[in-house]
A and B are shown apart, each in its own frame.
Chain A
Amino acid sequence: MKEFTQGIRDGIPIALGYLSVSFTFGLMAAEAGFTWWQAVLISAANVTSAGQFAGLDIMASGGAILEMALTQMVINMRYALMSLSLTQKIDRSIHMRHRFIIGFEVTDEIFAVAMSRDKKVSRLYMYGLMICPFLGWTSGTALGAVLGNILPEFIRNSLGIAIYGMFIAIILPKAKKAAQYLKVILIAVFLSCCFAWIPFLKAVSSGFVVIICAVLAAGAGAYFFPIQSETEEKQLSAVKEAED
């Protein structure tokens, strides 16, 4: 139970960040001619920011179904990478049927928070962690679709930075403690700036950019600064002690 409440608590900042982003999504969906419940349904079924914004465009412009499938695949491919990474972090005894549910809400933020825990992540923690962000994401969408333009823009916009603040809170302490993480992060940031500012690289879609930058930076990290697993380290030190 403690794990569950801890998960809920850790989910609150994610939910707050989501409120602002999904508010914008609801607003745009309403402007594109969708009803509020359609907007909420899209949010509840997908729980993904970039994918939903792109999907909205395709629906509104009557794009092909194949285009929808491919766009979602490219933008959301990073989730496959995150899920794979998360399988190494979660309690391995988690049953198949729970995996089908937990897997549904692997978002950038939930993934990041789960990975930043210093121990194995349990099923109850994951369930706790999923609740508030889901509510924040769907209710924010509803509010955005219904209330739309009531809030002055400068208030709405200052909420947009919340998610990034949270990301910084996750990566900076790690970078401070371990130089190899700092190097990996700096490589990723450098590459991502290249994609944002170099003319012909700008054309690459944002989903791809994240994949390319992350794979290159983490690959370089794994090649130059490999991390021995905890069990191996323990075995090594046990062997050393035995030798001494």
Chain B
Amino acid sequence: MNIGTFFIYLAVMAGVTYLLRVLPFVLCRKQIDNVFLRSFLTYIPYAVLGAMTFPAVFYSTDSLESAIAGVFAALCLAFFEKSLLTVAAGACLAAFLVQLAEFLKIISW
């Protein structure tokens, strides 16, 4: 691909993404008073994160087993309200240990 074409694609891609993000941010400067709309916007982050996490998290590693281990670790740590970093690291570690075990099993065959 020549450089010119690349930059046209890049500009369109980044431009559309930027406008979507920045327009509501710049245009809406008031407190929203409508209770329905306020509640809706308060719930949105949790709904978004819920929908993005499940079921995608189960396909985020090499194997279902390691993903389940990671989710379990994350749920336990989050339940006790550990920090974001601790929960994320715990999930990685649990998934990693299971994957390592699977990896070693393949090698030892």
Complex Cα gap A191–B87 (Å): 25
Which residues from B are CB-within-8-Å of A33? 1
**Interface on chain A toward B: helix, strand, loop, or mixed SS?**
helix
Complex Cα gap A158–B24 (Å): 36
How far is the CB of B3 from the nearest CB of chain A, in Å? 9
Contact B17 A79 (CB under 8 A): yes
Interface size on A, residues (CB 8 A): 104
Complex Cα gap A38–B55 (Å): 32
Binds B, one of A110-118, A134-142, A235-243: A110-118
Contact B99 A158 (CB under 8 A): yes
Range, interface on chain B: 35 or more
**Residues on A close to B: CB < 8 A?**
10, 12-14, 16-17, 33, 38, 41-42, 45-46, 48, 51-52, 55, 58-59, 62, 65, 68-69, 72-73, 76-88, 92, 96, 99-100, 102-106, 108, 111-113, 115-116, 152-155, 157-176, 181, 184-189, 191-193, 196-197, 209-210, 213-215, 217-219, 221-223, 225-229
**Which are the 8 A-B pairs with shortest beta-carbon distances?**
A165-B91, A103-B22, A169-B87, A213-B51, A222-B39, A158-B96, A45-B14, A103-B25
